[in-house]
Chains A and B, each alone.
Chain A
């Protein structure tokens, strides 16, 4: 995939991710649907395949889930360079993409969290602080379930995609109810997928 990224484009990308950073309550991953709308549908900086494989790669790799944003940044950079074949230009733009998107998604929320939690910790017995924690809890929990739901619902052709839905449901139940190591499940998903069973 080939795209052209001008300096204002990079700036727009940075600004958009700064905004998403502040909306990402419950984790950056809760803004994934909005990222998809912006990057794939509106700007065409990533295609559908690159978007979902960025998510999956980050899930398959250890570390915080937010790293999917780094992989997307890398892919946007590669697209702007015209692919990995562009050599050092691809590296430069790839790393630029990682920096722009990771700084965007992390900086505003981190500054806010650092300042607010220092304050909240000093005032942890205050009624308002407690009400905020209690009030947001059910919403935050539901947003997690939503994210998984939206990832699944992106595969919207029942005849072709039903095995994926079954796999997602089974995984959710197994992880919820047992203490099995998550690596086994990811490996099982990879094997089933590679064999073309789902």
Chain B
């Protein structure tokens, strides 16, 4: 029997959904304003655990699509969720919620900082925060490796692909487009084969 990835057998509580476009706007504003150094953690906590707009399984699926599409992940996610419930205007409401207040805030910060940018303390502080920010991004990447365990291509192939990507982009500094087209196409083709003709039935790989 085909397993619908959207049917989460563990979901005991009934799911909720956004009540209105205003609800979308405020929810995304609220999440954005809590998200320092990336919004992923906050989004998961809020949408899955508090608002219960989606199950964990649905979240992982939505998130991987949001990641794979070009563009900022959280922006993509807001468009997807807003669009699902209220069409284009819902997508725009969620997007505006996500961006409006943080944009005003960050530009205010930039102006204030502009006045003190010659100050060695301010420069030092930014240098330190920059190093922490780099660490945050690396950690997010490391955390998401867990999602690869279930991948149909198998853990080893995933690891090889990840290492090749790192060597290509991080060490050899190849243009991103080459890596995406080269490795990406190969990976998708391999996944297509591994999924088999009945690929739609399973998410995880089953050894023959």
Q: List A residues at the B interface (Cβ < 8 Å).
A: 21-31, 33-34, 49, 52-67, 70-71, 74-75, 78, 84, 94, 98, 102, 106, 108-110, 112-114, 116-118, 120-121, 124-128, 130-153, 155, 164-165, 167-176, 182-183, 185-186, 188-196, 198
B135 contacts A148, CB within 8 Å?
A: yes
Closest 8 CB pairs of A and B: A193-B128, A63-B102, A171-B135, A109-B71, A144-B141, A135-B188, A148-B138, A189-B132
Question: Would you call B10 an interface residue if the criterion is a C-beta within 8 Å of the partner chain's C-beta atoms?
Answer: no
Contact with A along B50-79 (1 / 0, CB 8 A): 000000000001001111111111111001
* Bound CA span A155–B125, Å: 15
**Across the interface, which residues of B come within 8 angstroms of A66, CB to CB?**
72, 75
A110 contacts B71, CB within 8 Å?
A: yes
A139 contacts B109, CB within 8 Å?
A: no
The DSSP consensus for interface residues of chain B is helix
The size of the chain B interface, using a CB distance under 8 A, is 111
Question: Would you call B88 an interface residue if the criterion is a C-beta within 8 Å of the partner chain's C-beta atoms?
Answer: yes
A-B contact number at CB 8 A? 391
A112 contacts B71, CB within 8 Å?
A: yes
A127 contacts B33, CB within 8 Å?
A: no
**Across the interface, which residues of A come within 8 angstroms of B143, CB to CB?**
175-176
B69 contacts A117, CB within 8 Å?
A: yes
Q: Which of B76, B109, B176, B179 contacts A31 (CB 8 A)?
A: B176
**Across the interface, which residues of A come within 8 angstroms of B141, CB to CB?**
141-148
**Across the interface, which residues of A come within 8 angstroms of B98, CB to CB?**
63-64
Q: Which of A26, A130, A146 contacts B67 (CB 8 A)?
A: A26
B165 contacts A143, CB within 8 Å?
A: yes
Q: Nearest chain B CB to A121's CB is how many angstroms away?
A: 7
* Bound CA span A57–B122, Å: 11
Considering only CB atoms, which chain B residue lies closest to A198 in the complex?
A: B128
* Bound CA span A59–B127, Å: 12
Q: Given contacts A149-B134, A185-B37, A193-B126, could you give 4 more A-B pairs where the C-beta distance is less than 8 Å?
A: A59-B136, A70-B103, A109-B75, A182-B41
List B88-117 residues whose CB lies under 8 Å from chain A.
88, 91, 95, 98-99, 101-103, 105-107, 109-111, 113-115, 117
A131 contacts B199, CB within 8 Å?
A: yes
Question: Would you call B48 an interface residue if the criterion is a C-beta within 8 Å of the partner chain's C-beta atoms?
Answer: no
A64 contacts B132, CB within 8 Å?
A: no
A137 contacts B136, CB within 8 Å?
A: no
**Across the interface, which residues of A come within 8 angstroms of B200, CB to CB?**
125-127, 130
* Bound CA span A27–B66, Å: 9
Q: A125-B4, A138-B151 are in contact. Are A169 and B135 (CB under 8 A)?
A: yes
B36 contacts A183, CB within 8 Å?
A: yes
A191 contacts B128, CB within 8 Å?
A: yes
A139 contacts B106, CB within 8 Å?
A: no
